[in-house]
A and B are shown apart, each in its own frame.
Chain A
Amino acid sequence: MPDVVEQIRNVCALGALQSVAAIERAIPIIHAGPGCGQKLWSALSSGNGFQGSGYAGGHSVPCSNSTENEIVFGGEERLRETIENSLKVMDGDLFVVLTGCTADIVGDDTGDVVRGFREQGAPIVHVETGGFKGNNYFGQELLWESIIDQFLEPADAVEPGLVNVWSVLPYQDPFWAATLETIGNLLKLIGLKPNLIYGHGQGIKSVRSIPSAQFNLLLNPWLGLKTVQHLERRFGIPFYQYPALPVGATETGRFLRGVAAYAGIDEALVEAAIAREESRYYYYMERAADLFFETRFKPGHFITIADSGFALGLSRFLVNDLGLIPEAQFVTDKVPDQHRERIEAEFQDEVAGIPSPVIFTSDGGAIREVIQGLKFRERPLILGSTWDKVITRELQGYPLSVSLPVSDRLVLNRSYAGYDGGLTLAEDIYTVILNSFQ
């Protein structure tokens, strides 16, 4: 299948501007054509859970709105005045200049312009994210490379228990904000101090404290690996990696035990915390059991269509906690080739040991064609994007939008991570099922 994409599920490298927007009081400045900011915000925020403009996002992002003049004569002067005036107008703690295709193709020396402002004391970094260079996962890694190299300073001392959390990609995952809070709360359960970097109550202080962490937690099968490796090289911070977003009791327990063992936390303390949480979890799950076992509308096999870490977490929850059977798993986050084999192995590593094919693609047409070739004996459950509702309806299946674009749901503080997240996902799935006939 040619490398073209129908029904986009991710964007270009400049999409990293939304990661900047996810840091409290950080302000992206984009050196790009007039439409880039609007399009990327449409895809990552307003068309994906209606996540809003936030503090300085959406149409409030300073931009050079480059046109023919900047293409022909170069855009450095335009960028310089944009930055100079951004610093006067915008009230922020960290400014990140991100470039688009126009600036990178004509070869503006963005670094030189930005360096001038940094030398005068402005908290500003730059990153070259021309859309043709790669996708927004790639842009995310470039962004952190820039922040690490251009902004972070070595810490005086390591803060014991402090953990930098690298997991979901903000805005790409519409549930990112509450998911991070949830991960933070899980880490607190076992006595760690989470540094979540993005979202409510974080901001510049969290960014500045990254170098003082005891370790980095990489809660993703691949995205962020470059960032934590770079932090290890630069500041000597080690990292612990867990591949799946933990959804529900089985996976969350595994995750907590894993991270606790790495951090050298007393096993008894961890087991007590898990037992407490599981008891509460099963208090609610027990209530659900009546419906699960007596409904005439139990879903048939399930399909997930999502980014790798999330797809893994969803799939493991459905298999291990709800006892469902997987049909196929579509991984949509353009996983680099060198990580694919491991991710495939992770999908086979369900506790219940029920494998299913893993297909790496972000092309909606390719996904549709595979699904159309499957045989379903009962109504399938398809956890994917709003694009996938059309094929799900054709199959008379149950659609739940969980991955970009989620344009049929408002997402505020919902998360599928952790113990409560599993319960929430069970609620959402059965709400779809029960709604389908009444």
Chain B
Amino acid sequence: MAINTKIAQAPIRELRLDAITGYSGSVHDLAARTAPGCCLSNRERSFAQTSSCSSGCAQTLLSGIVDAAVVNHAPLGCLGDSLYQNIGYHYGQFHRNWPYSNVSMISTNMGESDTVFGGAERLKDGIREAWRRFKPKAIFVTTSCASGIIGDDVQGVIDELKDEIPTPVVPVHCEGFRSRVWATGFDAAFHAILTRIVKPPEQKSKELVNIINFRGSARAYITDLFARVGLKPVFVVPFATVGELERISEAAASLTICGTLGSYLGTALEEEYGVPYVKSTPPHGFAGMDAWLRGLGQAVGKEREIEALIVEEKRAVQDDLAQVRQKLAGATAVIGMGPGFSLSYIRVLEELGIKVLYAASWHYDQHYDHGSQPAITTELATEHQDIPFGIGEQQNFEIANLLKELKPDLYFSRHPGSSVWAAKQGIVTIPVMDEYTAFGYRGLVNFGWRIADALANRRFVNNLAQRVRLPYQQWWFEQNPYHFLSQEEAA
């Protein structure tokens, strides 16, 4: 189960975490059948819509390291998402009051002859140009389907440049075809950082806490919160420097905003350097934040201070919460998000008084790197009534079918390219784009008011639904949403 930092690349999630992308059932069923010792087999689809691949997730993290550069050894299109990453980069700079700069990314621009003769020279050019242009503290070389299939020896090229490029050059194996689970790309990036950037601790800190997140919009709030208990957050990986990443082994604990994101890095830091990784449910809503902060308190020996903080923070929003719960009482919802959010948001919405009719998850890790089932699965199975649950890699046609059948008041989604389709069906849609949406106590209440506003004026979605057509035939809406899933293999 332990993470192996001696090997060249992180095994894909399907192999490491028994991750699946095809399932239809319920939360209780899922919890029972993925309990330790059990393993659910994946159900394949005979029809699918385009999902995402691991290189996108790897590059999202790596492009955000402020003094590093990314060389994508690939045809030009594989850097298509760099535009979106640059938007995210500017968003993070905005939240920090930093001047705007662009992500430092270079495509080796592979062409037809490279697939015949190999792309080594091109890769050398890319690495050399990254060094010449950015003078980065590290260069990450991300791979692609094309460079992977033709078998370019990335490490060999890097070795050849060893004397020429005086900065770490690190391969990141994130070929899209290797995994259906795009979150595999997080692990690819973390593996590269863990094996080549992070240094053994020189002096352990009692106050630094790694927060494994994306853009860090709640940075100011968390910094303030932690200061009240004598702790200092270090936000990783985006917006950290290579120097900061070198020292994350010295932290007193690691937390993550998303179990899908944090599993590999958090677990490895714990196993290699004894940095406790808080394995609680994510800090979404009241219960999530309770567990997250208590996990932190335990890890750093500040249980008492944390309890006081919890009481204080909750008290501050209690009345507001009661008010918004009244507004939302009786509303129904469907959820479609990655597994780090989907299950957790069942509880978030219930805390707001919203009834969840169905939750879909873009994949599911049957266990995390530390070996246990995700805490949220276990808790939902024991503390809550059962809820229908499905798994698919952001398959919009399945969600459209579900929504037409269930007719919820609200659809909550995460990931670009999903929420608009529910809006076209006339359903009030709340995209959870920022990872700190519904963060803790204040976040939950603010989120509640955002939902109340959305329900108060449904004009836009109504207008839209009356005028646009979905790209599906009537036949499809007469089928079961998971019609194209293969039969389950006999156990």
Minimal beta-carbon separation of A373 from chain B (angstroms):
15
Instruction: For chain A, residues 40 to 92, give those with C-beta under 8 angstroms from any C-beta of chain B.
Output: 40-44, 46-48, 52-53, 55-56, 58-68, 70-71, 81-82, 85-86, 88-92
Residues of B within 8 A of A64 (CB): 48
Complex alpha-carbon distance, A67 and B48, angstroms: 13
For B144-181 the 0/1 string (1 means CB < 8 A from A) is 11100110000000000000000000000000111110
State whether the Cβ of A290 lies closer than 8 Å to any Cβ in chain B: no
Q: Which residue of A lies closest to B418 (CB)?
A: A59
B80 lies within 8 A of A42 (CB)? yes
By a beta-carbon cutoff of 8 Å, the part of chain B in contact with chain A is 46-56, 74-84, 86-87, 100-102, 104-112, 114-115, 122, 125-126, 128-129, 133, 144-146, 149-150, 176-180, 182, 393-394, 396-397, 415-418, 420-421, 469-473, 475-476, 484
Query: Which of A3-11, A140-148, A220-228 interfaces with chain B?
Result: A3-11
Minimal beta-carbon separation of B401 from chain A (angstroms):
10
A4 lies within 8 A of B476 (CB)? no
Residues of A within 8 A of B149 (CB): 71, 101-102, 105-106
Minimal beta-carbon separation of A18 from chain B (angstroms):
11
A132 lies within 8 A of B110 (CB)? yes
Residues of A within 8 A of B104 (CB): 6
State whether the Cβ of A210 lies closer than 8 Å to any Cβ in chain B: no
Select B56's contact among A32, A39, A82, A133, beta carbons within 8 Å.
A39
Minimal beta-carbon separation of B356 from chain A (angstroms):
23
Query: Which of A340-348, A385-393, A423-431 interfaces with chain B?
Result: A385-393
B48 lies within 8 A of A62 (CB)? yes
A8 lies within 8 A of B107 (CB)? yes
Could you show 9 A-B contacts with beta carbons less than 8 Å apart? Answer: A10-B76, A12-B78, A34-B50, A43-B80, A62-B47, A63-B50, A89-B476, A102-B145, A102-B177
Complex alpha-carbon distance, A435 and B111, angstroms: 43
Residue from the set A33, A65, A102 with the largest chain B CB neighbour count within 10 Å: A33
Residues of B within 8 A of A135 (CB): 76
A35 lies within 8 A of B56 (CB)? yes
Residues of B within 8 A of A55 (CB): 469, 471
Q: Which residue of B lies closest to A389 (CB)?
A: B100
A47 lies within 8 A of B50 (CB)? no
B114 lies within 8 A of A132 (CB)? yes
* Among all A-B residue pairs, the 8 with the closest Cβ atoms: A35-B53, A37-B50, A47-B83, A12-B77, A85-B47, A39-B80, A43-B80, A131-B75
A387 lies within 8 A of B125 (CB)? no
Residues of B within 8 A of A30 (CB): 50
Range of interface residues on A (Cβ < 8 Å): 35 or more
Known: A42-B83, A59-B51, A64-B48. A5 touches B77 (CB 8 A): no
A134 lies within 8 A of B177 (CB)? no
Minimal beta-carbon separation of A405 from chain B (angstroms):
4
B102 lies within 8 A of A2 (CB)? no
With A47-B81, A48-B83, A389-B100 already in contact, 16 other A-B pairs whose C-beta atoms are closer than 8 Å: A4-B106, A4-B129, A5-B79, A12-B76, A32-B50, A33-B177, A36-B53, A42-B83, A52-B420, A88-B473, A89-B476, A91-B471, A101-B149, A102-B177, A386-B86, A387-B86
Complex alpha-carbon distance, A98 and B2, angstroms: 41
Residues of B within 8 A of A15 (CB): 77, 80
Complex alpha-carbon distance, A27 and B102, angstroms: 34
Q: Which residue of A lies closest to B133 (CB)?
A: A365
A131 lies within 8 A of B180 (CB)? no
Residues of A within 8 A of B107 (CB): 4-6, 8
Q: Which residue of B lies closest to A391 (CB)?
A: B102
B55 lies within 8 A of A35 (CB)? yes
Complex alpha-carbon distance, A10 and B86, angstroms: 15
Complex alpha-carbon distance, A58 and B400, angstroms: 15
A2 lies within 8 A of B475 (CB)? no
Minimal beta-carbon separation of A144 from chain B (angstroms):
19
Complex alpha-carbon distance, A35 and B420, angstroms: 19
B420 lies within 8 A of A407 (CB)? no
A81 lies within 8 A of B46 (CB)? yes
State whether the Cβ of A20 lies closer than 8 Å to any Cβ in chain B: no
Q: Which residue of B lies closest to A6 (CB)?
A: B106
